[in-house]
Amino acid sequence: IIFSMRLLLVVALSALVSATRAASSASLECGACMLVVAEVEKAVRAVDPKKTIDAGSFRVNHKGEQVGLQKVPFARSNGHIVELLEKACDRTTDYRHVLNKLTGKKVYVNKDSTWLKGDESKSMQSKLHSACNDLIDDHGDELEKFFQKEHDEPARELCLTKIGVCTSVDVSPMPPMEPEEEKKEEEDKNEL
């Protein structure tokens, strides 16, 4: 009976440790979703808003004229979104796994968007790349439709609300770009 109780205690502690680890770090699926949102939205913003393409039917009527075509903004056109989704996962080498000091949870972020240090290992990037490809394979049609429209908070709306791979903590803002507190501490040390 003592052996059974010890075994039960070990199993319970293992489950608790696993749950604590999971709660302290965003899932790979969430990281992949956040990466896709960041990369697609960045690429969409980089396109000249005046750029358009012809979309619709390319049929020719009995007079030899094309009918059913209309000019649509290129940035959020289906063809452009599909192209961006195909390339998004290649950007995993630009990401690191860092501790968000505002939430206390580890998240995946673009290296250029934070001063925080974190895991940039090939292993982490490979896992994130696989999760990204899986996300696009599993939700491709949803992603295409989602990115064809502009959203106020795309990461929150897609990754939390629509697909449900992130928690509200995962999609919380990151600390400011510069480590203000660390700068002040450094200045205080220099004054002494």
Query: Which DSSP string do the residues of 102-153 spell out, in sequence order?
Result: TTTEEEEEEGGG----EE--HHHHHHHHHHHHHHHHHHHHHHHHHHTS--SS
Q: Give me the residue label for tokens 């396109």.
A: 47
Sequence-distant (6+) residues with CB within 8 A of 132 are 32, 35, 36, 88, 89, 92
Displacement of CA 23 from its chain's centroid (Å): 18
Encode pLDDT of 92-140 as tens digits.
Answer: 999 999 999 889 999 999 999 888 899 999 999 999 999 999 999 999 9
pTM score, two decimals? Answer: 0.76
Q: In the predicted model, is pLDDT for residue 185 greater than 60?
A: no
Rounded Cα distance, 34 and 106, in Å: 13
- Give SS3 for 101: coil
Q: What number is the average pLDDT over the span 85-97? A: 96
Do 155 and 37 meet the contact criterion of CB atoms below 8 Å apart?
yes
> Tell me, what's the pLDDT at 175?
81
Tokens of 64: 């030899």
Rg (C-alpha) for the chain, rounded Å, is 23
More confident: 68 or 13:
68
86 φ/ψ angles, rounded to the nearest 5 degrees:
-65, -30
